[in-house]
Structure 1
Amino acid sequence: MIPAQAEVMAHGCADLLLERLVDPAELGARLDAGEAARLLEPAFQDAAADALERALARRHPRMWRALPSAVRLRLLERARAAVPGQVEGVLREVARDLTTTLDLRRLIVEAFRADRALLGELFRRCGAAEFRFVILTGLVCGFLLGLLQLLAWVTVGQPAWLFPLVGALTGGATNWLALWLVFAPVEAVQLGPWRVRGLFLERQAEVSAAYAAFFAERVLSAPRLIAALPLDELGAEVEARSARQLERWGRGASPALRLALRAWGGEALRGEVSASIGAIVPELPPLLEPYLEERLELERTLRERLEALSPREFVSVLRPVFQAEEWKLTAIGAALGAAAGGLQATLLLLA
C-alpha cells in the first residue's frame, strides 16, 4: 500500500523538509569554501603537475629528458601553484548559490521514486510502535466483540449475516479509533488516574531522532548530495579558471620560460593541462564526504527542530504524510473484520 503512493508521499516529505525544517541557503552558509578547497587542492595540484609532465614528455621527449632536474621540478611546482584559488572560487559559488546548484526537492523525490521500499522503511522506523498499536487494538477489540457475538448466537440466536456485518463495522471502527489515538489528543488529557495523549506525541523525541537519522542516512547523505551536484559543469568551470590562471602564469614567467612555453605549444599545452585538472572533479567526492557530514550536521538539525516543535506543530508537520493512507487502513480493517465474521458464521453453521 505504501509503495504504491511513493510519488505522492515523496512530494509530501519534500514539502515538510524544505518548508518547515531545512533551508538550503542555511546549509550553504555552513560550508567554508576555503576549508573544502584545502582538502581538494592536493589532488588538483598533482593532476596539474602530472598533466604537464605527461604532455611535455609526449610532445618533446628528448628536450624534457635533457632538462636539468631542478628546472623540471620548478616547472612542475609552477603548475601546482596555478591551482590554489581556482578550486576555492568554484566551491564558494556552489556554497553561495546552493539553492539553485543543488535541487534538494528533486533529490528527495527521486530517492523515493527510485526505491519505493524506502518509504516503507521510513514508516517502519518512525511508526513501528504505532502500527503495532493499531494491529493489537484490532485484534483485542475484534476478539472481544467476536466473543459477545458468539454468546448472543448461543443464548438468543442471531442471523448469520450479522457476523460479517458486525465484523466489518468492528474492524473499520477499531482501526479508525486506533489511528486517531496515534495523533490525538494533541494536548494531554487526564482521565482519572490516566494521562492520555497521542502516541506519536508521547514519542516525539524518539520519532524525531528516527526521522532525522533516516533522512540523513538514506536520502540526504553526503554521497547523495555530492552525486546530485552538476559535477561535469563544475569540472568545466575549474578547467576554464585553471586555463586563465595558467595563461597569467605564462605571461608572468621569465622571458626565457615564456619563449620555451611558446616553443612547446603554449596554448595547446595550457589546454591539455587545464583539461586534466577539470577532468578529475567527478573523481573527488570521497574526499569531501566526511567534510560535508561534519559541517552540515543534517541529522542534528532535523532532530533538534522536530523536537522543538510544539505538540500541535509536530502533528501538523508529520500527520499529512500519513493521513493520505489512513482511509485505506480503515478499509482494510473493515475487510478483514468482515472476512473474520464470515468465517465465524460459516463455522457455526457447519457445527
Structure 2
Amino acid sequence: GDSDRLWLYLVMPFMSATVGWLTNVLALKMTFYPVEFIGIKLWQPKNQPLGLFGWQGILPAKAAVMASKSVKLLTQELDVNAVFSNINPDEFAQQMGPGILVMMDEIVRKVARRHLPLGMWDKIPEDVQIEIIIKTVDDAPSILSKVLMKVKDNIEDVLDLEHMVVTAMVANKQLMIDIFIAVGTKEIIFIERSGFVLGFLFGIIQAVIWYFYQENEWIVFYVGGFIVGFATNWIALKIIFLPIGEYNICGFKIQGLFLKRQDEVSRVFAQQNASKVLTPTAFWNAILTGPNKDNFNDLLEKSISSFLDKMLGHLETSVNRYFGKTEYQNVKDDIAQQIIAALPAHVHHSYNYMEKALDLETNLREKMQALTKAKFERVLHPVFEEDELKLIIVGAVLGFLVGVFQNAVMFV
C-alpha cells in the first residue's frame, strides 16, 4: 500500500537531488578534463571534444579557439602601445648592466678575432684588450637604450601578442584550464550546489507524479532522471550569465551571478594573466623567437649600425679605409648578430624592472572593471556558450542513466 511506499516517496527528492548534483559535477569535469583525448582515437573532429572513440575536455579540445577569443578581449581593452610606453629605456639598460659586461666581453673578442688580421687581437696586450672591452661596455647601455626606444615605438611590429598567447595556451592547456577555473570558481561551485537544490525540488514533483501514476514507475525514473539532468544544467548556466543587465523585481535585484562579481573577477583575471601569461619572459621570448622576430632583428641591426657610425664620428672614414666599406658593414652586421644571439641568455636581468614598469595586473584589472556588462560577460561565457547544448545533453544523458540505476535499486 501507500504506507509501505512512504519511505520511497520521502527518499525520492534526496535521490533526485543526488542526480542533479552528480550530473552537474560530471558535466563540469567533462568541460575541463581530460586535458588530452582519452580513448581509442580513430577520429576526432578539429576543435571538438567527442571522437571515435573517446572524449577530450571541451575547453582543451578548443584551446586555440578559446585562447584566440581571450586574447581578442585583452587586445581590445589593453592598449599595448600605452603599456609599453611606461618602460624607461635608460632604466632598462641600467638593469641589464650585469649581463652587458659578460655579453660585450664575449662579443668584442669574437668579432675582433673574426675581422682583424689573423692573430692580431691576441697580440694586443691584455690590459689594452680589457680597456677596449670596458669602452664597449660603457657604450653598450646607450645601444640598448636606443634599441628599446625603437621597440617601444614599434611594439606591434615586433610583438605578435595573439600568437604569443594562443601558442602558450595550446602548448599548455592546463594553464588555460587553471585560469578559467580561477576566474569562475564561484560559478563552478554554484553549478554543483544548484544541481542538488534544483534536483531536490524536481524530486518532490517526481514523487507527486509517481504517487498518482504508479503503473509504469520506470517512466517516472527514466524520464525524471533525464529531465533533472537536463534542467539542472540548463537553469544553472542561465542563472550565471543572465540577465546581463540588473533588474529590480519586487524589491529583489536580479542579475547574472557572474556579472555581479565584475570587480572580483577582474582582479582574479588580471592577476592570473599577468603572472602566468603576460610575463616579461613571455614577451621577450615572443620578440626574440616569435613570427615577428625578423622585424626585431632588422630594427636591432639598424640601431647598432647607426650607433656605431655616430660613435666613430670623424674616424668613420679611416675605419672604412682600413676595413673596406663592405667589410666594415660586415663588422656592424656581425656585432648585431652576436647581440641577437646573446640577448636571450642575459635579458632576464630586466624582468623585475619590466614587471614593475608595465604593471599589467593593475592596467588589466582597471580595464576589466570598466567594461560594460555585455562585454564583461564575454570573459567566461564563451567557455560554455559554444557547447552549452552539449553540456546540457551530457547532463540529460547522465541523468537518464542514473534514473535507470535508481529504478533498479529501488525495485530489485
Please report how far the alpha carbon of residue 286 of structure 1 lies from its aligned counterpart in structure 2 after TM superposition: 0.7
Please report how far the alpha carbon of residue 53 of structure 1 lies from its aligned counterpart in structure 2 after TM superposition: 5.7
Partner of 1:165: 223
Cα distance, 1:146–1:341 mapped onto 2, change above 3 Å:
farther
SS in 2 for 1:31: coil
Stretch moving more, 232-241 or 341-350: 232-241
Give the letter aligned to residue 229 of structure 1: I
SS in 1 for 2:411: helix
Please report how far the alpha carbon of residue 73 of structure 1 lies from its aligned counterpart in structure 2 after TM superposition: 5.6
Please report how far the alpha carbon of residue 191 of structure 1 lies from its aligned counterpart in structure 2 after TM superposition: 4.3
> Which of 85, 91, 100 lines up with 1:44 in the alignment?
100
Please report how far the alpha carbon of residue 176 of structure 1 lies from its aligned counterpart in structure 2 after TM superposition: 1.0
Q: Distance in 1 between matches of 2:88 and 2:203?
A: 65
SS in 2 for 1:229: helix
TM-score (norm 2): 0.71
SS in 1 for 2:253: strand
1:120 maps onto 2:177 in alignment: yes
CA contact (8 A) 1:48 1:274 kept: no
Give the letter aligned to residue 308 of structure 1: A
Partner of 1:299: 361
CA contact (8 A) 1:235 1:279 kept: no
Question: How far does the alpha carbon of each residue in 1:193-248 deviate from its partner, in whole angstroms, 9 at most, with x for none?
Answer: 64332111221111111111121112211111111003675467546654665566
Cα distance, 1:270–1:150 mapped onto 2, change above 3 Å:
closer
Please report how far the alpha carbon of residue 103 of structure 1 lies from its aligned counterpart in structure 2 after TM superposition: 0.4
Partner of 1:64: 124
- The count of residues paired between Structure 1 and Structure 2 equals 341
Give the letter aligned to residue 31 of structure 1: I
| Structure with higher helix content | 1
CA contact (8 A) 1:44 1:280 kept: no
TM-score (norm 1): 0.82
Stretch moving more, 310-319 or 216-225: 310-319
1:324 maps onto 2:386 in alignment: yes
Partner of 1:181: 239
Q: Distance in 2 between matches of 1:309 and 1:328?
A: 29
Cα distance, 1:294–1:152 mapped onto 2, change above 3 Å:
same
Q: Distance in 2 between matches of 1:270 and 1:10?
A: 40
Give the letter aligned to residue 186 of structure 2: A
Q: Distance in 2 between matches of 1:130 and 1:12?
A: 20
> Which of 265, 270, 274 lines up with 1:216 in the alignment?
274
Cα distance, 1:100–1:277 mapped onto 2, change above 3 Å:
closer
Give the letter aligned to residue 341 of structure 1: G
1:32 maps onto 2:94 in alignment: no
1:333 maps onto 2:391 in alignment: no
Please report how far the alpha carbon of residue 316 of structure 1 lies from its aligned counterpart in structure 2 after TM superposition: 4.7
CA contact (8 A) 1:34 1:88 kept: yes
1:101 maps onto 2:168 in alignment: no
RMSD: 3.4
Partner of 2:377: 315
Give the letter aligned to residue 33 of structure 1: P
Cα distance, 1:9–1:59 mapped onto 2, change above 3 Å:
same
Q: Describe how 1:186-205 pairs up with structure 2 within 5 A.
A: 186-192=244-250, 194-205=252-263
Q: Which runs of 5+ in 2 are unaligned?
A: 1-57
Cα distance, 1:216–1:254 mapped onto 2, change above 3 Å:
closer
Q: Distance in 2 between matches of 1:177 and 1:235?
A: 54
CA contact (8 A) 1:82 1:242 kept: no
